[in-house]
Structure 1
Amino acid sequence: MRARTAAVLLAGALALTACSAEVALEPPTPDPASAAVCAELVPALPATLAGQPAREVTGPRELVAAWGTPPITVRCGVPQPAALEPTSQCFEVQGVGWFAEPVPEGYLFTTIGRTAFVEVGVPSRYAPEADVLVELAPAVSAHDPVQRPCV
């Protein structure tokens, strides 16, 4: 179910890009600890990502961000991915553990093992999609504490 919702959100963001300069992102509703992490993390994200400039977003700027056309999106403080199981593969990029879900338009990556779940939607135009995680890792590492390591 989560992959379908993510695909709809990513498709909606892609469609809205053609109509507006702002990227409409559904804001998450994080718990207080995650909200505090997000308030520090999102402003620390890079001004450019995959060579793409930051975009204006309609959601709260302490929870969401976007870059490029079609937009690469970040939502901080999302719920744990429904597809994430104890046996799911976790892959590490510069010390940050990620769970990857393919969606029709690209990939949806979510941090795991940290205080807040950070979701990154990467359209296939930016393949290999996981490359953007290298650029996001410093901000995630600096502002979202590890709770359990990626194994």
Structure 2
Amino acid sequence: MNFFRHRPLGLLAPALLIAVAGCSSADDSATVAVPSPDARTARVCRDLHRSLPGRLDGRDRTDPSPRSAYTAGWGSPAIILRCGVVRPPKMVDPAVAEGGDRDAVAGGVNGVDWLMERQDDGTWRFTTANRVAYVQVTLPEGLSGTDAGGPVLTALAPSVKKAIPKGIASMR
């Protein structure tokens, strides 16, 4: 069962409200691990990289190092985007589908489905679902709640919809 197709936008608000306690912490040095996508995924990730906004949530684009077509960043501490990441384990966890996992919630924002996960360190990350590539967005500590996550995901939605077609991502 693909539970991401039927989750209403209303699920996003509770997840983001929970995130007020602490969103994902992007490294202040803006150094991130670069994904290693397959050829099909690499092509759409490069398309996404070219279509991303120059400003996000009032922050200028300052891509992390090492420079890559699979990563992008805005501000300092940075909002980090990684394209071509592997499928998060919680994306197929039945407890998430049944609402039993309070640390992972599925929802959609402006036509893009997301898995919102609370990490062991209390931070949050957002990963696209139902697209041919997984795109992961990490918010820096202090940027949390519906006033932060909602506008960030809303602003990224047009680029994701344009560059990453709907479909099933690689199972890697």
Same-fold call, TM > 0.5? yes
Greater fraction of residues in strand? 1
Alignment TM-score, normalising by the size of structure 1: 0.79
How far apart, CA to CA, are the structure 2 residues paired with 1:56 and 1:33? Answer: 23
Q: Which has the higher mean CA deviation after the structures are superposed, 26-35 or 84-93? A: 84-93
- Residue 33 of structure 1 deviates from its aligned partner by 1.0
Q: Is it true that 1:144 corresponds to 2:164 in the alignment?
A: yes
Matched, 1:32 2:39: yes
Aligned residue in 2 for 1:130: 149
Cα deviation, residue 86, structure 1: 5.1
Residue 48 of structure 1 is matched in structure 2 by 55
The whole-number CA distance in structure 2 between the counterparts of 1:72 and 1:135 is: 12
Is residue 65 of structure 2 the alignment partner of residue 58 of structure 1? yes
- Residue 48 of structure 1 contacts residue 67 of structure 1 at CA under 8 Å; is this kept in 2? yes
Query: Whole-Å Cα distance in 2 between the matches of residues 78 and 100 of structure 1?
Result: 15
Aligned length: 132
- The share of aligned pairs that are identical, in percent, is 32
TM-score by structure 2 length?
A: 0.70
Contact 2:34-2:68 within 8 A present in 1 as well: no
- What amino acid does structure 2 have at the position aligned with 1:121? T
Higher relative contact order by CA 8 Å / sep ≥ 6: 1 or 2? 2
For the Cα contact (< 8 Å) 1:108–1:121, is it kept in 2? Answer: yes
1:105 to 1:52, Cα distance in 2 relative to 1, 3 A: farther
What do the CA deviations read for 1:92-147 (whole angstroms, capped 9, x no partner)?
Answer: 00000000112336320000110000000012422224221000000000110011
Matched AA of 2:163: H
Give the equivalent residue in structure 1 for 2:123.
106
CA distance in 2 between partners of 1:35 and 1:60 (Å): 15
Show the counterpart of 2:82.
Answer: 75
Q: Which residue of 2 aligns with 1:90?
A: 106
| Counterpart residue type for residue 137 of structure 2 | V
SS of 1:55's partner is coil
Mapped contact 2:28–2:76 kept (Cα < 8 A):
no
Mapped contact 1:107–1:124 kept (Cα < 8 A)? no
Counterpart CA distance in 2 for 1:56 and 1:117 is 19
The one-letter code matched in structure 1 to 2:149 is A
Gaps of 5+ in 1: 1-9, 17-22
The 5 Å alignment of 1:115-126 reads: 115-126=132-143
- Structure 2 match to 1:7: none
Task: State the superposition RMSD in angstroms.
Answer: 1.8
Moved over 4 A (4+): none
Seen in structure 2, the aligned counterparts of structure 1 residues 69 and 60 have a Cα distance that, compared at 3 Å, is closer
